[in-house]
Structure 1
Amino acid sequence: MEGSVRGGSGNVGSSESRPPNPLAGANRQCFAGVNAGHTPISGTLVRHTSLKQISGIPIEPEVSGKKCEKEYIPIVRSGAYVDIGFRQNMEDTYVCCDNVTDEYCLKNTGDGPNAFYGVFDGHGGKHAAEFVCSNLLRFIMEDEDFPKHIEKVITSAFLQADTAFAEACSVDSALASGTTALAALIVGRSLVVANAGDCRAVLSRRGKAIEMSSDHKPSCMGERTRIEATGGFVYDGYLNGQLNVARALGDWHMEGMKVADGLGPLSAEPEVRKMKLTEEDEFLIIGCDGIWDVFRSQNAVDFARRKLQEHNDPATCCKDLVDEALKRKSGDNLSVVVVCFNSIPPPALAAPKPRVQRSISAEGLKELQSFLNSLGN
Structure 2
Amino acid sequence: MGLYLSSPKTDKFSEDGENDRVRYGLSSMQGWRASMEDAVSDHLAPSCAFVSCICHAAIPDLDSCTSFFGVYDGHGGKVVAKFCAKYLHTQVVKNEVYAKGELCESLQRAFFRMDEMMRGQRGWRELAILGDKFNRFTGYLEGFIWSSPKHTEGKDEKQEDNWAFEPGPHADFSGPSSGSTACVALIRDSKLIVANAGDSRCVLARKGQAIEMSQDHKPELENERERILRAGGFIHAGRVNGSLNLARAIGDMEFKQNKFLSADKQIVTADPDINNVDLCEDDEFIVLACDGVWDVMTSQQVVDFVRENINNEAKLSTVCEKLLSKCLAPSTTLGEGCDNMTIIIVQFRKKSQIEGNVST
TM-score (norm 1): 0.68
- Does the 8 Å contact 2:40/2:70 carry over to 1? yes
Aligned to 2:15: 46
Quote the Cα distance in structure 2 between the aligned partners of 1:235 and 1:257: 18
Aligned to 1:133: 85
Aligned: 1:259 with 2:258: yes
Structure 2, unaligned stretches of length 5 or more? Answer: 42-57, 125-169, 331-335, 352-360
- Does the 8 Å contact 1:179/1:250 carry over to 2? yes
- Secondary structure of the equivalent of 2:244? coil
Q: Deviations over 1:228-268 (max 9, x none)?
A: 1221111110011110000001111x3x4443542321011
Q: RMSD between aligned alpha carbons? A: 2.3
Q: Deviations over 1:275-310 (max 9, x none)?
A: 111111000000000000001010110011101022
Aligned to 1:283: 285
1:338 aligns with one of 324, 345, 356: 345
Pairing 1:5-84 to 2, within 5 Å after superposition: 42-48=11-17, 50-52=18-20, 75-84=21-30
Aligned to 1:164: 117
Give the number of the structure whose residues are more often strand, by fraction.
2
How many residue pairs were aligned?
Answer: 273
Aligned to 2:137: none
Aligned: 1:100 with 2:62: yes
Pairing 1:151-190 to 2, within 5 Å after superposition: 151-167=104-120, 168-169=123-124, 170=170, 176-190=177-191
- Secondary structure of the equivalent of 2:83? helix
- Does the 8 Å contact 1:196/1:248 carry over to 2? yes
Greater CA radius of gyration, 1 or 2? 1
Quote the Cα distance in structure 2 between the aligned partners of 1:159 and 1:123: 18
Aligned to 1:143: 95
Question: Offset of 1:176 from its aligned partner?
Answer: 4.2
Quote the Cα distance in structure 2 between the aligned partners of 1:343 and 1:327: 36
Q: How has the CA–CA distance of structure 1 residues 179 and 319 changed in structure 2, closer, same or farther, with 3 Å as cutoff?
A: same
Matching residue's letter, 1:310: N
Q: How has the CA–CA distance of structure 1 residues 257 and 331 changed in structure 2, closer, same or farther, with 3 Å as cutoff?
A: farther
Question: Offset of 1:42 from its aligned partner?
Answer: 2.4
Quote the Cα distance in structure 2 between the aligned partners of 1:287 and 1:258: 30
Give the number of the structure whose residues are more often helix, by fraction.
1
Matching residue's letter, 2:258: V
Aligned to 1:353: none
- Does the 8 Å contact 1:258/1:266 carry over to 2? no
- Does the 8 Å contact 1:192/1:274 carry over to 2? yes
Q: Deviations over 1:46-99 (max 9, x none)?
A: 111x312xxxxxxxxxxxxxxxxxxxxxx2011110011111000000111111
TM-score (norm 2): 0.71
Moved over 6 A (4+): none
Question: Offset of 1:313 from its aligned partner?
Answer: 2.7
Pairing 1:311-326 to 2, within 5 Å after superposition: 311-326=313-328
Q: Deviations over 1:197-250 (max 9, x none)?
A: 000000000100000000000011221112112211111100111100000011
Q: How has the CA–CA distance of structure 1 residues 313 and 83 changed in structure 2, closer, same or farther, with 3 Å as cutoff?
A: same
Pairing 1:215-234 to 2, within 5 Å after superposition: 215-234=216-235
